């Protein structure tokens, strides 16, 4: 890139909340490579909070979702009008950071003369390859998502930023403090966030074992616990079952927080304990120690990212088992089939590697994490 004029860059990420958050190091690297770079990002609706307020992002664009009751033709007209507005931005460079069709098409329709995007080494659609001026072949091996995103930087010595950043407002923090006060939170006791749910239940650990960890944190360690979840009714019902099985009484903010408020809550905690889900990545981005339960997913590419990591592969080099990097711990059964990357065993939506993981295996690892964090 040249410093002679402003370079407008659009990065596309049509994936989920955690994916969007972990895009941050790529965005920062692009913004800092050239004082004239202006970086924007395009995401699906509901993911924008992960990058709003990011110091290296000029604008967050949201792809228009189809409205309830809207016909296909109505949506197409609105979609085309939105694409015209995007094209009017006259981006110099578009980077599609996923291997999907829509991102490739939107990048091409943006009119950017330089289009960089991921393609598969084998089985790539020829028409998709032709949409890019700079196709980048996906690299294989045990490589973390943050590192794989950085593969999209062009060669030539661009400065790489390795920190995942997350911003929340003072209003978000004030809301969380008020809710904690109402729940009886004490200022003199450390607080632990427990987030036991995911919208994909095949990633969730046993309810009774989660309850035992909560009991240990409160009754044995003398800590305060706040339980969180997404707003979905199924997730909140699952939290209710966990609390019913628990002999201790944690604070319950399940389903009551926005994404930014969830981040603000994590910032007040000495530890995050939960499953492989977006709030795990949010806590890690805020440098809060994480203990995460993993099942079918690979920790090597989705484990909590330790800010400052300089490696070219992954902080979690084994395919399964208990692994620690920096302040974070991943707990996963060390089985030959793990991680399978499937939605439960043989598509059953139930994961034996999670169902057979016991609280007796997990609690000592939680204690070790608390000790490393300097929590009593």
Going from N- to C-terminal start, the domains of the chain cover 7-150, 170-372
- Can you give the C-alpha Rg of the chain in angstroms? 21
Within 13 A of 278's CA, how many CA atoms are on the CB side?
Answer: 23
Which residues 6+ apart lie within 8 Å of 192 measured at CB? 217, 223, 224, 225, 226, 269, 270, 271, 272, 273
Coil/strand/helix, residue 185 = coil
Nearest to 289 by CA among 329, 331, 251: 329
Q: Residue 4 CB: number of other CB atoms within 10 A?
A: 8
pLDDT tens string 182-225: 999 999 999 999 999 999 999 999 999 999 999 999 999 999 99
Q: d(Cα 189, Cα 84) in Å, to the nearest integer?
A: 54
Strand 328-331 and strand 323-325: pairing? antiparallel
CA-angle at 310, arms to 307 and 316, nearest 5°: 75
Low-confidence ranges of the chain (pLDDT < 50): 1-3
The two domains 7-150 and 170-372 share their CATH topology (first three levels equal): yes
How much is the pLDDT for 157?
A: 62
Buried b vs exposed e over 199-225: b needs ≥16 C-beta within 10 Å? ebbbbbbbbebbbbbbbbbbeebebbb
Structure tokens at 276: 């492989």
Within 13 A of 9's CA, how many CA atoms are on the CB side?
Answer: 29
User: Class for domain 7-150, per CATH?
Assistant: alpha beta
pLDDT tens string 308-329: 898 888 999 999 999 999 999 9
How much is the pLDDT for 100?
A: 84
CA-to-CA dists, residue 100 to 15, 117, 119, angstroms: 9, 10, 9
Residue 95: Cβ-neighbour burial (10 angstroms; 0-12, 13-18, 19+):
buried
Domain 170-372: which topology? Rossmann fold (3.40.50)
DSSP 312: S
């Amino acid at each position: 890139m040249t410093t002679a004029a402003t370079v407008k860059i659009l990065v596309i990420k049509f994936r989920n909340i955690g994916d969007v958050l972990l895009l941050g190091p790529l965005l920062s690297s692009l913004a800092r490579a050239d004082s004239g770079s202006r970086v924007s990002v395009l995401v699906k609706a509901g993911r924008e909070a992960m990058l709003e307020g990011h110091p290296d992002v000029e604008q967050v664009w949201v792809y228009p979702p189809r409205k309830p009751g809207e016909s296909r033709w109505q949506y197409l007209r609105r979609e085309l009008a939105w694409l015209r507005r995007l094209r009017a931005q006259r981006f110099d460079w578009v980077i599609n950071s996923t291997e999907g069709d829509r991102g490739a098409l939107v990048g091409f329709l943006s009119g950017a003369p330089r289009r960089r995007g991921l393609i598969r080494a084998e089985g790539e659609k020829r028409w998709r390859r032709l949409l890019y001026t700079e196709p980048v072949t996906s690299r294989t091996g045990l490589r973390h998502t943050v590192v794989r995103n950085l593969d999209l930087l062009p060669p030539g010595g661009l400065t790489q930023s390795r920190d995942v950043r997350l911003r929340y407002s003072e209003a978000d923090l004030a809301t969380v403090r008020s809710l904690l006060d109402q729940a009886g939170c004490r200022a003199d006791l450390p607080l632990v966030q427990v987030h036991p749910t995911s919208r994909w239940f095949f990633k969730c650990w046993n309810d009774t074992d989660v309850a035992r960890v909560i009991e240990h944190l409160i009754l044995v360690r003398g800590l305060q616990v706040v339980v969180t979840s997404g707003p979905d009714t199924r997730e909140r019902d699952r939290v209710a079952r966990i609390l019913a099985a628990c002999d201790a009484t944690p604070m319950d903010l399940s389903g009551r927080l926005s994404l930014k408020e969830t981040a603000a809550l994590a910032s007040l905690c000495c530890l995050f304990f939960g499953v492989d889900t977006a709030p795990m990545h949010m806590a890690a981005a805020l440098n809060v120690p994480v203990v995460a339960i993993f099942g079918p997913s690979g920790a090597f590419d989705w484990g909590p990212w330790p800010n400052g990591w300089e490696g070219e592969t992954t902080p979690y080099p084994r395919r399964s088992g208990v692994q620690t990097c920096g302040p974070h711990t991943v707990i996963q059964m060390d089985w030959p089939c793990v991680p399978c990357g499937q939605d439960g065993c043989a598509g059953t939506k139930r994961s034996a590697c999670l169902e057979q993981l016991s609280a007796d295996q997990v609690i000592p690892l939680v204690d070790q994490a608390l000790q490393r964090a300097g929590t009593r």
